[in-house]
Amino acid sequence: VGGFWYESMVLFLAVGLFRKSTGGAHSSTFQGCIIISIFSISFFAFLSRYLFYVNVPPHVFFISVLSVIYIFSFLVVYKLAPVASPNKPIVRKEKIKKLKIKSLATVVFYYLISMIFIFCSQDNSHI
């Protein structure tokens, strides 16, 4: 997608897994959903490749930025997830609690995976 195939696939899989437990608004048509998804994923893939060029050690910058993003994400998910829609209402309290826990666990899992990737991608010859 726009020369960002790797980034797009990572985003597509991550968002797909995350949306299973968080729910959310839906487009009124399948075509609308596809178009919105393609543009959103392309935009964030572009950002992930070009936004983060700064003059600090990359691992320090990425850990700082990702920590802020994941803390914010955790708080938003804690407050708002799961999101019901008219097509998929969620009425049972047990189901809401289960989906919220799965959503929060997904955020924590993504954070840990991100930290592992950052740690593994830096030069660790001094360890």
* Residues 33-47 pLDDT 10s: 778 888 888 887 787
96-105 contacts at long range (C-beta below 8 A, 24 or more positions apart): 99/21, 99/22, 99/23, 102/20, 102/21, 103/18, 103/21, 103/22, 103/77, 104/74, 104/77, 104/78
* Residues 94-126 pLDDT 10s: 999 999 999 999 999 999 998 888 778 766 544
pTM above 0.95, yes or no: no
Cα(27)–Cα(63) distance, integer angstroms: 34
Cα(56)–Cα(91) distance, integer angstroms: 48
Q: How long, in residues, is the chain?
A: 127
